[in-house]
Chains A and B, each alone.
Chain A
Amino acid sequence: MSAYEAIFWFLTVVALSCALGVILSRNPVSSVLFLIATFFAISGHYILMNAQFLAIVNIIVYAGAIMVLFLFVIMLMNLNADTEPQKNKLVQLAGVISGGILFLVVLAALKSSTVKTLEQTATDIGLIKNLGKTLFTKFVLPFEISSVLFLSAMIGAVVLGKKGTPHPNTENS
Chain B
Amino acid sequence: MKAIIAATILGIVLMFTGLFVKDKKSVVSIAIVAMLALFGVSIWEYSTADPTAPQELFNNLLRIDNYALWFNMLMAGCTFLYVLLMGKRFISVGNHVAEYFTLISFILCGIFLLTSYNNLLMLFIGIEIMSIPQYILAGSDKRNLKSNEASLKYFLMGAFTTGILLMGITLLYGATGSFYITSFTFLQSTTLNPLALAGIIFVLIAFAFKVSAAPMHMWTPDVYDGSPTVFTAFMSTIVKAGAFVGFLRLFHISFGSLSDHWMMLVAIITAATLLVGNVTAVFQQSVKRMLAYSSIAQAGFMLFAVASVNATAWQGMTIYAVAYTVATIGMFAVLVKMKDYTYDGFNGLAKKEPALAFFTTIFLLSLAGIPLTGGFMAKYFVLNAAVQAGGMLWLVIFALLMAAISVYYYFRVIIAMYFKTGDAELNHEVTAADKILLGITCALVILIGVAPQLFIG
Interface residues of A (CB under 8 A from B): 105-106, 108-110, 112-116, 138-142, 145-146, 148-149, 151-153, 155-156, 158-160, 162, 164-167, 169-170, 172-173
Task: Let me know if B142 is at the binding interface, CB within 8 A.
Answer: yes
Sample 19 A-B pairs with CB under 8 A, ordered by A number.
A109-B197, A113-B175, A113-B193, A113-B195, A141-B122, A145-B4, A148-B109, A149-B129, A151-B12, A151-B15, A152-B102, A152-B103, A152-B129, A152-B133, A155-B99, A156-B133, A160-B140, A170-B143, A172-B341
- Chain B residues contacting A162 (CB-CB under 8 Å) are 96
CB distance from A126 to the nearest CB of B (A): 17
CB distance from A108 to the nearest CB of B (A): 7
Interface residues of B (CB under 8 A from A): 4, 8, 11-12, 15, 57-59, 61-62, 89, 92-96, 99-100, 102-103, 106, 109-110, 113, 121-122, 125, 128-129, 132-133, 135-136, 139-144, 151, 171, 174-175, 177, 193-198, 201, 228-230, 338-339, 341, 427
Task: List the 4 closest pairs (A to B, CB-CB), nearest first.
Answer: A156-B136, A173-B92, A141-B58, A109-B198
Q: Evaluate contact between B197 and A149: CB separation under 8 angstroms.
A: no
Q: How far is the CA of A141 from the CA of B126 in the complex (A)?
A: 12
Q: Which of B132, B142, B193 contacts A153 (CB 8 A)?
A: B132
Q: How far is the CA of A142 from the CA of B179 in the complex (A)?
A: 13
Q: Evaluate contact between A159 and B61: CB separation under 8 angstroms.
A: no
Q: For residue A138, which residue of chain B has the nearest CB?
A: B59
Q: Which of B8, B92, B198, B341 contacts A169 (CB 8 A)?
A: B92
CB distance from A155 to the nearest CB of B (A): 5
CB distance from A7 to the nearest CB of B (A): 24
CB distance from B331 to the nearest CB of A (A): 16
Sample of 18 more A-B contacts, CB < 8 Å, known A158-B96, A159-B99 = A109-B198, A113-B194, A113-B196, A114-B193, A139-B121, A140-B58, A141-B57, A141-B62, A142-B122, A145-B4, A145-B109, A148-B110, A148-B129, A151-B106, A159-B100, A159-B140, A160-B136, A172-B341
Known pairs A109-B171, A148-B129, A149-B132; A164 contacts B94 (CB<8 A):
yes
Q: For residue A155, which residue of chain B has the nearest CB?
A: B99
CB distance from A107 to the nearest CB of B (A): 10
Q: Which of A105, A145, A167 contacts B94 (CB 8 A)?
A: A167
CB distance from A70 to the nearest CB of B (A): 14
Q: Evaluate contact between B142 and A173: CB separation under 8 angstroms.
A: no
- Chain B residues contacting A116 (CB-CB under 8 Å) are 177
Most central of A114, A142, A146, A173 by chain B CB within 10 Å? A173
CB distance from B164 to the nearest CB of A (A): 10
- Chain A residues contacting B100 (CB-CB under 8 Å) are 159
Q: For residue B140, which residue of chain A has the nearest CB?
A: A159
Q: For residue A171, which residue of chain B has the nearest CB?
A: B144
Known pairs A141-B61, A149-B125; A159 contacts B136 (CB<8 A):
yes
- Chain B residues contacting A145 (CB-CB under 8 Å) are 4, 8, 109, 113, 125, 129
Most central of A155, A158, A160 by chain B CB within 10 Å? A155
Q: How far is the CA of A173 from the CA of B230 in the complex (A)?
A: 8
- Chain B residues contacting A146 (CB-CB under 8 Å) are 125
